[in-house]
């Protein structure tokens, strides 16, 4: 006799590809005699225009690691390909499962899918339980005194820091799988029709832990001063892992807090993680941000949307070295430094007068960490249409941003090799070199600025001024 509540439960993995701090897996093992870990490749996600090859490549790799780690505990990952909820219902039937445990999803498409699955399971008398796992606190847990969601980061962050949080759950030691459970083979990204020339680190949960421990050991205390320097590798690079849940925010925060002494670097790092939760709760409470401006009057902005300028921006040939370096980093590494993201987003909207949603989508297609809520929050911040947005009349100057955050041009020279011999004095404004100097320094092929920042600044102010309420 067993005292477990269920005989068999399916744990449906999605953006929680880990064994540590996995509430759905932990609870399923506690409550069922047998547990079936399942992942479904859903065409509805794979065929979306903003699903990029880098994320699919990273996903497939992380699933391989998850399977290997599940096997060490006596289980294995069962792979299926097909539409949800059909594949979930088929698996429930095939394995005679009592139901499905999974983590809660907040993106509009994921929420709708989960509601459909829960309904279909309920109609068949099966259980469907959702757990918290994407953020430290659930959207809705941190509210203002008036019980309304925060739309300004400062007070949200203060509560986020002060509120007691539970520690992470341990990884399971033993998983009991029903006999003869069969899986489809794990497809490669190419088999799923995704290929990329971008080069980036993968490695699933094991890599995520290594990165975190190394970051906490060697970099975190200088994070507050190094994080904004473009040429310095001063950030954690954990975003891709947070996006697919190969590590949980709770695990990261617990590791940082347990590592000992306080430092400004640690506090700054934790407050960056709070941004992750902040934007998630914005998406949940204000779902209209997924398609339009947080402040809807900005939807009336009359963008110019010049396709040639958009192509120059995407390809990193705008003639503004800091913009081009950042875009080339994105195109080759599937990742971009946060300061770079702010600069190129401001440049697209305020200098090129192109709709922020076009940039948002391009980022989603290219980024290995592309994440609807963080990406949307970042874009709306830069475009001045969002929650805590910088006011529209504060416009980043790409030259002074370069001089401030890449003072020696190290970052520009890494990503724009045509400029590698240009002295620091001109690295952020090579257009000031004479033709003979450009020839001599080997950068005559580097484009002249596609627009004049001073002129475009005035035009942006006029564009925003027409619709602004402030």
Ligand X SMILES: Cc1cc2nc3c(=O)[nH]c(=O)nc-3n(C[C@H](O)[C@H](O)[C@H](O)COP(=O)(O)OP(=O)(O)OC[C@H]3O[C@@H](n4cnc5c(N)ncnc54)[C@H](O)[C@@H]3O)c2cc1C
CB of 460 to ligand X, least distance (A): 17
- Residue of 82, 105, 24 whose CA lies nearest to 284: 105
**Site mask for ligand X (CB under 6 A), range 107-146, x = bound:** ----------------------------------------
CA 442/CA 338 separation, integer angstroms: 30
Number of residues located near ligand X, criterion CB under 6 A: 28
Among 272, 414, 431, 437, the active-site one is 272
Catalytic residue among 275, 335, 381, 415: 275
Minimal distance, residue 276 CB to ligand X, in Å = 4
Q: Order of strands, edge to edge, in the sheet holding 32-41?
A: 78-81, 32-41, 6-12, 99-103, 127-131
Residues in contact with ligand X, shown as a per-residue x/- string from 237 to 266 under the rule CB under 6 A: xxx--xx-----------------------
Catalytic residue of the set 12, 335, 356, 415: 356
- When the beta carbons of 75 and 139 are compared against ligand X, the nearer one is 139
Alpha helices in 20-149 (DSSP H): 23-31, 43-46, 53-72, 86-95, 108-123
Cβ nearer to ligand X, comparing 15 with 227: 227
Please indicate whether residue 303 is annotated as part of the active site: yes
Chain residue at closest Cβ approach to ligand X: 378
Residue 338 annotated in active site: yes
Identify each DSSP E strand in 233-387 by its residue range.
none
Residues numbered 198 to 237 that lie near ligand X (CB under 6 A) are 227, 235-237
Does residue 342 touch ligand X according to CB under 6 A? yes
CB 273 within 8 A of CB 249: yes
Please confirm, yes or no, whether 415 is among the known catalytic residues. no
**Residue 145: other Cβ atoms inside 10 A:** 6
If the CB atoms of residues 160 and 379 are measured against ligand X, the closer one turns out to be 379
First to last CA, the chain: 69
Cβ-based neighbours of 183, under 8 Å, separated by 6 or more: 76, 77, 78, 79, 80
Q: Are 100 and 12 in contact (CB under 8 A)?
A: yes
In the bound state with ligand X, the residue whose beta carbon lies nearer, of 99 and 234, is 234
Neighbours of 282 (CB within 10 A): 25
- Smaller CB distance to ligand X: residue 233 or 445? 233
Shortest separation between residue 214's beta carbon and ligand X, angstroms:
12
* x/- map, 271-310, ligand X, by CB under 6 A: -xx-xx--x-------------------------------
Q: What ranges make up the beta strands (E) of 344-411?
A: none
- The C-alpha atoms of residue 367 and residue 387 are separated, in whole angstroms, by 23
In the shown chain, the binding pattern of residues 355 to 394 toward ligand X, with x for contact by CB under 6 A and - for none, equals --------x---x-xxx--xx-xxx--x------------
Report the nearest approach of ligand X to the CB of residue 270 (Å): 9
Cβ(280)–Cβ(134) below 8 Å: yes
Q: What is the DSSP string of 53-83?
A: HHHHHHHHHHHHHHHHHHHHTT---EEEES-
Q: Which of 33, 222, 226, 303 is catalytic?
A: 303
Is 379 designated active site?
A: yes
Q: Which residues bind ligand X (CB under 6 A)?
A: 227, 235-239, 242-243, 272-273, 275-276, 279, 338, 341-342, 345, 363, 367, 369-371, 374-375, 377-379, 382
Catalytic residue numbers, as ranges: 272, 275, 303, 338, 356, 379
């Amino acid at each position: 006799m067993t005292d477990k509540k269920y005989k068999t439960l399916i744990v449906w993995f999605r953006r929680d590809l880990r064994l540590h701090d996995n509430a759905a897996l932990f609870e399923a093992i506690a409550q069922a005699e047998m547990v079936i870990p399942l992942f479904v490749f859903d065409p509805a996600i794979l065929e979306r225009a903003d699903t990029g090859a880098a994320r699919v490549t990273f996903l497939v790799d992380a699933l391989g690691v998850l399977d290997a780690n599940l096997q060490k505990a006596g289980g294995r990952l069962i792979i299926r390909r097909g539409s949800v909820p059909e594949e979930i219902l088929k698996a429930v039937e095939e394995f005679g499962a009592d139901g499905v445990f999974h983590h809660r999803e907040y993106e509009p498409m994921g929420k709708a899918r989960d509601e459909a699955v829960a309904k279909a399971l309920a109609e068949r008398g099966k259980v469907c339980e959702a757990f918290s796992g994407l953020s430290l606190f659930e959207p809705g847990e941190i509210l203002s005194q008036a019980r309304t969601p925060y739309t300004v980061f400062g007070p949200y962050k203060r509560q986020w820091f002060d509120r007691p949080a539970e520690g992470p759950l341990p990884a399971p030691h033993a998983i009991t799988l029903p006999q003869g459970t069969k899986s489809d083979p794990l497809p490669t990204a190419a088999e799923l029709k995704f290929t990329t020339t971008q080069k980036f680190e993968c490695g699933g949960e094991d890599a995520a832990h290594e990165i975190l421990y190394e970051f906490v050991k060697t970099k975190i205390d200088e994070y507050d001063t190094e994080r904004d320097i473009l040429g310095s590798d001063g950030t954690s690079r954990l975003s891709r892992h947070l996006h697919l849940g190969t590590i949980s925010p709770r695990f990261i925060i617990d590791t940082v807090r347990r590592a000992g002494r306080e430092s400004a670097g640690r506090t700054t790092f934790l407050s960056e993680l709070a941004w992750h939760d902040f934007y998630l709760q914005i998406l949940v409470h204000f779902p209209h941000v997924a398609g339009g401006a947080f402040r809807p009057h900005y939807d009336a902005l009359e963008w110019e949307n010049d396709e040639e300028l958009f192509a120059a921006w995407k390809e990193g040939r705008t003639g503004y070295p800091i913009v081009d370096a950042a875009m080339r980093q994105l195109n080759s590494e599937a990742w971009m430094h946060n300061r770079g993201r702010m600069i190129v987003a401001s440049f697209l909207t305020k200098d090129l007068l192109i709709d922020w949603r076009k940039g948002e989508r391009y980022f989603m297609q290219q980024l290995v960490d592309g994440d609807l809520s963080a990406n949307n929050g970042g874009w709306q911040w830069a475009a001045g249409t969002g929650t805590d947005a910088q006011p529209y009349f504060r416009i980043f100057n790409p030259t002074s941003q370069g001089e401030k955050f890449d003072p020696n041009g190290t970052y520009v020279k890494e990503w724009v090799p045509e400029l590698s011999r240009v002295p620091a004095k001109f690295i952020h404004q090579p257009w000031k070199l004479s033709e003979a100097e450009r020839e001599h320094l080997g950068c005559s092929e580097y484009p002249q600025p596609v627009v004049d920042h001073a002129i475009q600044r005035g035009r942006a102010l006029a564009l925003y001024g027409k619709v602004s309420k402030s």
